[in-house]
Structure 1
Amino acid sequence: MLATFLLLASPVQDPGPPPPPAPFGAVPDARQLAWHELEFYGFLHFSVNTFTDREWGYGDEDPAVFAPTDFDADQIAAVAAAAGMRGLILTCKHHDGFCLWPSATTEHDVAASPFRGGRGDVVREVADACRRHGLRFGVYLSPWDRNHPDYGRPEYVAVYRRQLRELLTHYGPVFEVWWDGANGGDGFYGGARETRWIDRGSYYGWEETTRLVRELQPEAVIFSDAGDIRWVGNERGIAGDPCWATYTPRPRPGESAVGPGTTRAEEGTSGTRFGARWMPAEADVSIRPGWFHHPSQDGQVKSPAELVDLYYRSVGRGAALLLNIPPDRRGRIPEPDAASLRGMRTILDATFRTAVSAGATASASEVRGGHPAYGPARVQDGDRATFWTTEDGTTSAGLVLDWGEPRWFDVVSIREYLPLGQRVDRWALDVWDGTSWREFARGRAIGPRRLWRGPFQRGSRVRLRLEDAAACPAISEFSVHAEPPRVTATGAPPAILGAAVVELRSDPPGTPVHYTLDGSPPTLQSPRYAAPLELDRSCTLRAAAEFAAGLSPFELVREYEVWTEDSLLAPVASLVEPRPGLVWRAFLGGWQSLDRLAEAEAAGPPAATGVAARIDLSPRPRDEHFALVFTGFLRIPADGIYTFHLTSDDGSRLRLHDRLVIDHDGLHGMTTKSGRVALRAGLHPLRVEAFNATGGLGLRLEWEGPGLARGELPAAALAH
């Protein structure tokens, strides 16, 4: 009897939590998990191209041109750290073959330059500065070498591996090795000045080269489709929606194997649901139009708002953001770039430093084993190593955050617990408005991180509904945030004929707005918006909403041009009715810009010619090293101000009446530049030029004007 009493009186022992769910599908390894923690880091394109004003060097550049006047690796690293970057990747050798370190493999290196009297080592200085500023260090080493005499032969592969060994053994820990997909083409090649093509899938022996990286830097991830992380498939810094962390790389038709530059890059944008490998995306983009610094682009630095938008469209879709910040000819990050990065950091800090949902009560539709180790509070504890999950077999479930009183928010952050794989397929978000639930967002894929960002919502609770999952969900983070308020302008278009009215609106609604019309930054002492503004002269409108003790870092800047009737260009007269379409001509060559186009046109007949019903690259004779010229007339339907948007990869130009309307020349990804001109109804002489070097390609011309929404030029508007 006593034994029975003692047994009943003994405290019940907690049997502990049940085992976690089994991993689903491909999962990340340790080096990939460490890489996922970074999310945002920088690219440094710095070499002879910085001083020759080119994007791709030919390989015949004199090392003496590399002469930074005030190189400061600490300034570079400090700018990156202040922006919230977690690392920097340096272009230790670009396609021109110039090595930024004194290499035993070549004399085409920094030791042959005047930098530090021939005793400098840019790689050393950047690597050391990264460590002083708490940044990880990564290396970009171009497989293509347009300088080396042995490129294209087996001997060069041994040289490349020796260069890789130098970088991976002399400069401390490396977090990423970056292999570019541009391989083969024309170059100096030790004086041969010829074109050399290689089999990109087999020439480099990527399996052996990968083993070398694993041996020397086992914690480093390799960027390329022969490595650990994949290219997102564009140079705009934008991941697909959805963007799966799993991927099955496939070689393009005609390629012998998967390797840098050989895959179907467009498939990397979204990845592969149920893919064979855990191979998350890295989204690369430059803060300027070009990858290297060009003085002519000092006025084209992406704004803080544009950088924040890229953050949400990359990191917020589960990719990493690799933002290029090219040093100038001094060897420093220019102030416009640094200022934009500071503005980006200010906005992100204001958004994520304190969550709207901080201190909220979390509840769930189900908890695995009913044990708090897997309870809903885990999504609020700031620890990615803990997670909420359900019983096996549950593929739809829900989480609720309740903070008690209605608040404004416009961002929701969700993360899955990555060691168990990417499990959630479809999700939705609801807000409690005081009387009922209302859905405000839905999507596919969560993975490393999903950031929903949209119009401000107001409520006291948010519900995450996981509508479908391939295995029971495992969520490590769920939080709600509010960005600083924004201001939008409606009414008048950027180009005004005569006069127009502009209305300002704040989001969240009701936030006071201050503005100026002379281009000066608004302050709390600037006029407070109370009624629509009538504009009858060209001006720069700047406006910001009140935020905290000052104004929001989201500042609206809008240029308004007021045109008069006599500024409209008259059409040309035609004695006969023009025929449909534009005449196109194709030219072949090692194009780096459009500067040599006139020379090519004067040298002889084009490689091909014809008539096209639209402006794109479909008439091209091949995919690389070509230029196209379209000529004819543009039919303008009504008098007014027309804005044109020219998007291309690589360079392009638009001329009307021999007037250069848009200059989008140079080597760059698929980016857009715009121009504006006042035109009367009728026919106007049109010329569009475009070229592509290697890699991605594209061309699109859009317009908008009186009664015309933005869109591609229709065939009916083109004639010759």
Structure 2
Amino acid sequence: MPSERQLRWHEMEFYGFLHFTVNTFTDKEWGYGDEDPAVFHPTDFDADQIVRVAREAGMRGLILTAKHHDGFCLWPSAHTEHSVKRSPWRNGRGDVVREISEACHRHGLKFGVYLSPWDRNHPEYGRPGYLEYYRNQLRELLTQYGELFAVWFDGANGGDGYYGGARETRRIDNRTYYDWPRTWAIVRELQPMACIFSDAGPDFRWIGNERGIAGDPCWATLDLSKPARYPGGSSEGLEHGERPGTAWVPAECDVSIRPGWFYHPAEDDRVKSPEQLLHIYYSSVGRGCCLNLNIPPDRRGRIHENDIRSLRAFRRILDATFATNLARQATVSASAVRAPAESYGPHLLLDGRRDTFWCTPDEVTIPWVEFQFASPVRFNVVELREYLPLGQRIEAVAVDCWTDGQWTEIARATSIGNRRLIRLPQAVEAGRVRLRITRAAACPALSEFGLYLEPGR
């Protein structure tokens, strides 16, 4: 079952990535590590504009690439000169991490950091001395920028690089070199409520692709007793999760709004459309995951107008869709209710709260709930949420509509978890709707149920 920090992370649902470094100005995706810090020179950096765009898109937080593989630091680290303090931006007195973190605080967003384990600039990378350097930098980020909701580590580790002028290829054993348990312990000590990301957790995992698409089903558990459960290890089980699993390690879907992760002028006309973003949303958030959508600042240090245009249209559709839960118009009944009924009745599915839930007696694992309307309602989205502190109990559901004097199945789904959105291929109209739990590992604990109609459907 999830920890308190993981429950907080689940509530985020949708947040953003900010890929921003020397690559923005050299037109690269992965810097080599030999870049002159002087190339980092945004002409009109505006942290408030960046964060405001994220907030208006519905994001609840931002994760900044404080250091990517090139080793350039967006804060004036005391442990290297390869940072913004050697940049002409802000006359060498700038701190991107501070400006973004403070803007997040002003606008009510959570803040997180990405610190690349691989460093193509540092001369000690691949040797024991680098670990001390890396952990010192991690401590700076964990202690100087307020509360963090996430600390993000990836699995791109080792290869060719500058390495202080050596210009060579360095390979590491990513199973042992980083000694991840000790590094994670620093996060636990200094930011106890921050969730740690890597391919296999320990708090949330990669989905196995960078398209933003979760597997279906997508379970929130993994079997951590398997080998290769470390950053950069095997991708086995990441797409769908593993049931049963040994630990709660839910999935994040990361994807960029552009083909690349960093801003490239040639991609200004290749921004994902609102329709593409909607498909990603239903395939990530709608499968119980969190969506981490990258919106890379441009060379001004702002979010580009094309990205903003697509994000705003995407948000308008989502807001219009979920403005009204049509199910709240219904009279609701259930085949079974745990006692006392006032504490576990099906009416709690419609109260808009995650901390209440409909539940059945222990022995009842395949119940149904019926929603009866005074007049037919039209919908094309079905929403379900489990009461997450009790884990994922439900394994399969079906949705029926009463038509021509009989029940007709219109949809089915497997894993529910934090949030399940079933998007029907076309809208349906019905005066009676029934949800059937068709398979469950224990008596179901369902927190919310919703019926919605997308605009134009």
TM (normalized to structure 2)? 0.98
Q: Distance in 2 between matches of 1:330 and 1:250?
A: 47
Say whether residues 1:468 and 2:439 are aligned partners. Answer: yes
Q: Following TM superposition, by how much is the alpha carbon of 1:434 offset from its aligned partner in structure 2, in angstroms?
A: 5.8
Q: Following TM superposition, by how much is the alpha carbon of 1:258 offset from its aligned partner in structure 2, in angstroms?
A: 2.6
Residues 91, 251 of structure 1: CA spacing in aligned structure 2 closer, same or farther, 3 A cutoff? farther
Structure with the higher fraction of residues in strand conformation: 1
Structure with the higher fraction of residues in helix conformation: 2
Residues 472-504 of structure 1, C-alpha deviations (whole Å, 9 max, x = no match): 00000111000011xxxxxxxxxxxxxxxxxxx
SS at match of 1:243: coil
Partner of 2:321: 351
Partner of 1:691: none
Partner of 2:29: 55
SS at match of 1:300: coil
Residues 502-527 of structure 1, C-alpha deviations (whole Å, 9 max, x = no match): xxxxxx4xxxxxxxxxxxxxxxxxxx
Q: Following TM superposition, by how much is the alpha carbon of 1:435 offset from its aligned partner in structure 2, in angstroms?
A: 2.5
Residues 212-265 of structure 1, C-alpha deviations (whole Å, 9 max, x = no match): 00010000000012420000000000000000011124767xxxx532111x21
Partner of 2:211: 236
Partner of 2:429: 458
Say whether residues 1:217 and 2:191 are aligned partners. Answer: yes
- Aligned AA (2:129): E
Q: Distance in 2 between matches of 1:186 and 1:358?
A: 58
Partner of 2:162: 188
Conserved? CA contact 1:404–1:461, under 8 Å: no
Partner of 1:363: 333
5+ residue gaps, structure 2, are: none
Partner of 2:16: 42
Residues 537-596 of structure 1, C-alpha deviations (whole Å, 9 max, x = no match): xxxxxxxxxxxxxxxxxxxxxxxxxxxxxxxxxxxxxxxxxxxxxxxxxxxxxxxxxxxx
Residues 618-658 of structure 1, C-alpha deviations (whole Å, 9 max, x = no match): xxxxxxxxxxxxxxxxxxxxxxxxxxxxxxxxxxxxxxxxx
Partner of 1:94: 68
Partner of 2:389: 419
Q: Distance in 1 between matches of 2:331 and 2:128?
A: 64
Conserved? CA contact 2:27–2:264, under 8 Å: yes
Say whether residues 1:336 and 2:306 are aligned partners. Answer: yes
Partner of 2:129: 155
Q: Distance in 1 between matches of 2:106 and 2:355?
A: 28
- Aligned AA (2:423): R
- Aligned AA (1:237): G
Say whether residues 1:405 and 2:375 are aligned partners. Answer: yes
Q: Distance in 1 between matches of 2:98 and 2:330?
A: 48
Correspondence for 1:246 among 213, 221, 224: 221
Q: Distance in 2 between matches of 1:165 and 1:431?
A: 56
SS at match of 2:132: helix
Q: Following TM superposition, by how much is the alpha carbon of 1:137 offset from its aligned partner in structure 2, in angstroms?
A: 0.1
- Aligned AA (2:100): V
Number of corresponding residues = 455
Conserved? CA contact 1:434–1:459, under 8 Å: no
Conserved? CA contact 2:331–2:373, under 8 Å: yes
Q: Distance in 2 between matches of 1:61 and 1:250?
A: 41
Q: Following TM superposition, by how much is the alpha carbon of 1:436 offset from its aligned partner in structure 2, in angstroms?
A: 2.1
SS at match of 1:268: coil
Correspondence for 1:76 among 50, 53, 58: 50
Q: Distance in 2 between matches of 1:236 and 1:94?
A: 20
Say whether residues 1:273 and 2:248 are aligned partners. Answer: no
Partner of 2:366: 396
Q: Following TM superposition, by how much is the alpha carbon of 1:266 offset from its aligned partner in structure 2, in angstroms?
A: 4.4
Partner of 2:271: 301
SS at match of 2:254: strand
Q: Following TM superposition, by how much is the alpha carbon of 1:83 offset from its aligned partner in structure 2, in angstroms?
A: 0.4
- Aligned AA (2:204): I
Say whether residues 1:173 and 2:126 are aligned partners. Answer: no
Q: Distance in 2 between matches of 1:124 and 1:167?
A: 10
Q: Distance in 2 between matches of 1:416 and 1:427?
A: 12
SS at match of 1:299: coil
Residues 416, 226 of structure 1: CA spacing in aligned structure 2 closer, same or farther, 3 A cutoff? closer
Say whether residues 1:64 and 2:72 are aligned partners. Answer: no
Conserved? CA contact 1:308–1:344, under 8 Å: yes
- Aligned AA (1:334): H
Conserved? CA contact 2:201–2:249, under 8 Å: no
Conserved? CA contact 1:432–1:461, under 8 Å: yes
Q: Distance in 2 between matches of 1:402 and 1:41?
A: 36
Partner of 2:349: 379
CA RMSD of aligned residues (A): 1.1
Q: Following TM superposition, by how much is the alpha carbon of 1:290 offset from its aligned partner in structure 2, in angstroms?
A: 0.1
Q: Distance in 2 between matches of 1:281 and 1:318?
A: 8
Partner of 2:232: 261
Say whether residues 1:443 and 2:413 are aligned partners. Answer: yes
Residues 583-611 of structure 1, C-alpha deviations (whole Å, 9 max, x = no match): xxxxxxxxxxxxxxxxxxxxxxxxxxxxx
Q: Following TM superposition, by how much is the alpha carbon of 1:370 offset from its aligned partner in structure 2, in angstroms?
A: 4.8
Q: Distance in 2 between matches of 1:446 and 1:356?
A: 20
Q: Following TM superposition, by how much is the alpha carbon of 1:273 offset from its aligned partner in structure 2, in angstroms?
A: 1.1
Q: Following TM superposition, by how much is the alpha carbon of 1:192 offset from its aligned partner in structure 2, in angstroms?
A: 0.3
Q: Distance in 2 between matches of 1:250 and 1:290?
A: 35
Residues 463, 407 of structure 1: CA spacing in aligned structure 2 closer, same or farther, 3 A cutoff? same
Larger radius of gyration: 1
Q: Following TM superposition, by how much is the alpha carbon of 1:198 offset from its aligned partner in structure 2, in angstroms?
A: 0.6
Conserved? CA contact 2:336–2:364, under 8 Å: no
Correspondence for 1:322 among 269, 289, 292: 292
